[in-house]
Amino acid sequence: MTASNFEKIQKIFKLHNHRPRVFTWPFFGTIIFSGIMFAGYKLNQYITIWDKYKQAGGNATEFCELNRFDQLIVQPSNTWSNIGFIIAALIVLSIAKNDSKYYERSSVNNLLARFPGFSFLFGFSLLYLGLGSFLYHASLTHFFQKLDQTGMYFIVISAIAYNTYKLFPIIRLKNKHISSHKFLIWSAITVMAAFYLYLWKLPINIIFPSLILIFFFLNLYVQTKIEHSKPIKSFLTAAFVTIVFSYAIWILDRTTVLCSPTSPFQGHALWHILNSVCILLVYLYYRSEDYLPEEIQNEDIYETV
């Protein structure tokens, strides 16, 4: 990546104090570490450690890939494909870390750059999903199935919290106005905790689509209400196309229309990779916005990370 190309990326995504390594170290670092882990896995491939744990329920064993219960990793392709989520998560967290160190971010016209807490929330949720799904497909155990499921919820809750902030950016108190981002981030964490402790037991085929619909219509409403935010809509279009194609692959895998159980090329593994790309595209879409609410521009408010 040339210096001039990265300068364009810096301008588009408000990466004022970032360097190319914000993207390169998460990718190459994860690949190298995963390579070391894969070598260790091959050396211990036929060791079983999951047979004493409660087995996952639902559709856990209904993916196309052959379930190798006599091995260390039960579904290898579906497991290693979660590296995509981890790379995307580390990119977001790397950006959030640099944002938090940029002391002139109060002059940046982008809410994610100005309030790194949302990026930290999004990045840690994505990392939680990647690690949870990795261990779920590696073990097909009940506990890690819970992590995989709640990780899906956490990503959507993070996006809903960010969109809510764009609609309600300040809290008006008696003597001062305070940015509401901290309240919304902690509210999102509280909802996540509720899902982890209790709500994950509710039917995922009802709750998860409901959250997706809330996010979709909220995002649509925000787009119509905030017409001058000027995001690069092609990122959102690309994310939508990616998720539609990803879902089609998921259906073909589950219905065994395209299925070769012993092949390293698995539809559900591709589903993981495409979803990680989709989530990163959505983040970059929000990152491309050139917008601050009028309340923040015109009011003397108190801001914290």
Compute the CA torsion angle 183, 209, 155, 10 (nearest 10 deg): -100
Architecture of domain 78-302: Up-down Bundle (1.20)
Is the pLDDT confidence value at 296 over 60? yes
Interatomic CA distance for residues 127 and 162, integer angstroms: 18
- Dig out the tokens for 273 from the structure: 């990779």
Pick the closest to residue 34 from 95, 107, 90, 74 (CA basis): 90
> Could you give the CA distance from residue 180 to residue 31 in angstroms, rounded to a whole number?
38
Gap between the Cα atoms of 69 and 49, Å rounded: 10
- Enter the tokens of residue 166: 């764009």
Query: How does pLDDT run across 145-182, given as a tens digit for each residue?
Result: 999 999 999 999 999 999 999 988 888 877 777 889 99
Amino acid 297: pLDDT: 59
Between residues 302 and 201, which one has the greater pLDDT? 201
What is the torsion angle, in degrees rounded to the nearest 10, for the CA atoms of residue 122, residue 125, residue 127 and residue 133? -140
pTM for this predicted structure: 0.92
Q: What is residue 11's predicted lDDT score, i.e. its pLDDT?
A: 87
